[in-house]
Amino acid sequence: MKLNIGVIKGDGIGPEIVNEAMKVLDKVAAVYGHECNYTQLLMGGASIDVYGVPLTDETIELARKSDAVLMGSIGGDAKTSPWYKLEPSKRPEAGLLKIRKSLNLFANLRPAVLYEELKGACPLKEEITDGGFDMMIMRELTGGLYFGQRSTEEVDGLMTATDTLTYNEDEIRRIARRGFDIAMKRRKKVTSVDKANVLDSSRLWIKWTDEGAKDYPEVTLEHMLVDNCAMQLVKDPRQFDVILTENMFGDILSDEASMVTGSIGMLASASLNETKFGLYEPSGGSAPDIAGKGIANPIATILSAAMMFRFSFDLDEEADAIERAVSEVLKAGYRTIDIMSEGKIQIGTCEMGDRICEYISHRVSEN
């Protein structure tokens, strides 16, 4: 099978971690008889340096022609980088919003898994983390506060900023449907998160998630206020299967979930549209303070590549091979510095990619 993959290496540690994910993609392709064809694309600060904007229309078209896009981290140090002296629409992160909207990437999937081998890196008490946990955060990605009308103007002599949170029923229905579909492949439970005691948008959210649930009688649906959900994530994360939520709540909750897994460097991400196309990226930032040091954790990006095999190419066996290899490397005691603990073996970015590739080859040869 020919896999046409757009690659956005991005900024900071982005090129380092994407290189390792590409190494794993190539290894899986070689083992299973596929061919990876890469198209290099620029976005974020790297695009600003070349084109003066964080994302060009030409790059969007090249991405659209790909089967899927693998992306690293975007952005730099907001205090020191010249990128952040530009107006907001020209800064690196504006490229993220533009590509999500342009490619209609409305469904963001962020799995948060605590591996048994990493429970020592989790900040929660051992009795909470015993046995690990596995949840999927389903975040609506192209609506809500981040895409609503905004303004900053003088009102009655005072500078006043306004951001508008808007959702319509179609946007809610489609993300709810995707959440229920994912739940059907997991443990058949959806926790829909809202702020319905305050927000009209949340009350509409509840109405149409309830309506969508009628088509999925096997799935248990519960509603939870966002502040309670934030507390429950650190009190009892094992209760969650699929967390379904709007854009801003999902942004915050998924970062919280990443930390209870031990490191944001472990959190993969997929952003999907209504076809098989998806953009796959780690959930962490560009970490410019460690860029070039060879110590960044590439596992989130590698697991994002596994999600690419699963959701864009329907190659579940290949995705399983990557996920098993990551687990085997962790069981063998190998750690990057962010997940390092006493008695383990500290390795760098490149060696982590190499080790995962070795386990993919080893497991396949055994079979």
Assess whether 251 carries a catalytic annotation. yes
Active-site hit among 57, 130, 227, 236: 227
Q: Tell me the residue type at 160.
A: T
Active-site hit among 251, 280, 334, 338: 251
Active-site hit among 90, 188, 189, 195: 195
Q: Tell me the residue type at 38.
A: Y
Active-site hit among 26, 255, 320, 354: 255
Contacts of 92 (CB under 8 A, 6+ apart): 11, 43, 44, 45, 48, 54, 74, 75, 76, 83
Asked if 304 and 281 touch (Cβ cutoff 8 Å), the reply is: yes
Active-site hit among 146, 167, 280, 334: 146
Assess whether 354 carries a catalytic annotation. no
Show the beta-strand stretches assigned E in the chain.
Answer: 2-8, 35-41, 68-71, 107-114, 133-140, 150-155, 158-163, 189-194, 220-225, 242-245, 270-272, 278-280, 334-335, 345-346
Assess whether 67 carries a catalytic annotation. no
Asked if 300 and 20 touch (Cβ cutoff 8 Å), the reply is: no
The separation between the first and the last C-alpha atoms of the chain, rounded to the nearest angstrom, is: 21
Assess whether 115 carries a catalytic annotation. no
Assess whether 134 carries a catalytic annotation. no
Which of helix, strand or coil describes residue 112? Answer: strand
Please give the positions annotated as active site.
Answer: 146, 195, 227, 251, 255
